[in-house]
């Protein structure tokens, strides 16, 4: 299949897209080469191509995917295993994209895109769930904040604070110190 001509106007083997080597990618995204290889080992992403000498070559699609992974890891706090679950869907999406191109049955195409939509919906749902839990924690913390402001108001008014039901907690007090 190889069109040996490198100077042909349309060489199917000529890279139409810019490809990047591993260190370049790492520097661009703030990841080490080791991390990129590790992610590949885990099946999170396979670089778009390999060079003749087996160098990993990443394209823009890979970069975007890596940014997504990094976001899920750093921003959303997912484990790589959880990310793998979310990206297993992405892998299917890639395969479907191929199928999409090679079919012309509109029904099948419709089914594929519907499927992809469902996947993204699951991703969004997963992210939303995380965010709601976070929001609940924020509300809780703001509840504590309000409580403190009440105390401040009491102090401003020169009122003795409501008696705390907390016990000291400091190292000095020992419980059941009496009794043999």
Partner DNA sequence: GCTAACCTTTACGTTAACGGCAAGGTGGGC
Partner DNA sequence: GCCCACCTTGCCGTTAACGTAAAGGTTAGC
The footprint of DNA (CB under 7 A) covers 21-24, 32-35, 37-38, 42, 51-56, 73, 79-81
The only residue of 10, 18, 54, 174 in contact with its own copies, by rule CB under 8 A: 174
Does 15 interact with its own copies (rule: CB under 8 A)?
yes
Asked whether position 81 contacts its own copies by CB under 8 A, the answer is: no
Contact of residue 35 among DNA, its own copies, none (CB under 5-8 Å per partner type): DNA
* List of residues 6+ apart from 161 with CB closer than 8 A: 151, 154, 155
Give CA–CA dist 8/35, Å, rounded. Answer: 38
| φ, ψ dihedrals at 49, nearest 5° | -155, 170
80's contact among DNA, its own copies, none, with CB below 5 to 8 A by partner kind, is DNA
Among residues 28 and 117, whose Cβ is nearest to its own copies? 117
User: Long-range contacts for 147-151 (Cβ within 8 Å, ≥24 apart)?
Assistant: none
Rule CB under 8 A: is residue 85 a binding residue for its own copies? Answer: no
Judge whether 116 and 96 are in contact, CB under 8 Å: yes
56: exposed, middle or buried (C-beta count within 10 Å: 0-12, 13-18, 19+)? Answer: buried
Segment 98 to 137, residues that bind its own copies, using CB under 8 A: 98, 101, 106, 109-110, 113-114, 116-117, 120-121, 123-124, 127-128, 130-131, 133-137
């Amino acid at each position: 299949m190889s069109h040996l001509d490198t100077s042909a106007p349309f060489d199917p083997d000529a890279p139409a897209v810019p490809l990047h080597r591993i260190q370049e990618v790492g520097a661009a995204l703030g990841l080490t080469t080791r991390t990129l290889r590790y992610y590949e080992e885990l099946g999170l992403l396979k670089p778009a191509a390999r060079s003749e000498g087996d160098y990993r070559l990443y394209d823009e699609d890979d970069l975007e995917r890596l940014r997504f992974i990094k976001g899920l890891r750093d921003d959303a706090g997912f484990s790589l295993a959880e990310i793998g679950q979310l990206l297993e869907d992405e892998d299917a999406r890639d395969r479907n994209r191929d199928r999409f191109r090679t079919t012309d049955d509109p029904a099948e195409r419709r089914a594929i895109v519907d499927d992809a939509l469902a996947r993204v919906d699951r991703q969004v749902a997963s992210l939303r769930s995380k965010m709601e839990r976070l929001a609940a924690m924020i509300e809780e913390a703001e509840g504590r904040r309000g409580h403190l402001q009440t105390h401040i108001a009491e102090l401003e008014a020169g009122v003795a604070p409501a008696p705390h039901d907390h016990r000291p907690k400091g190292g000095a007090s020992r419980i059941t110190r009496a009794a043999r």
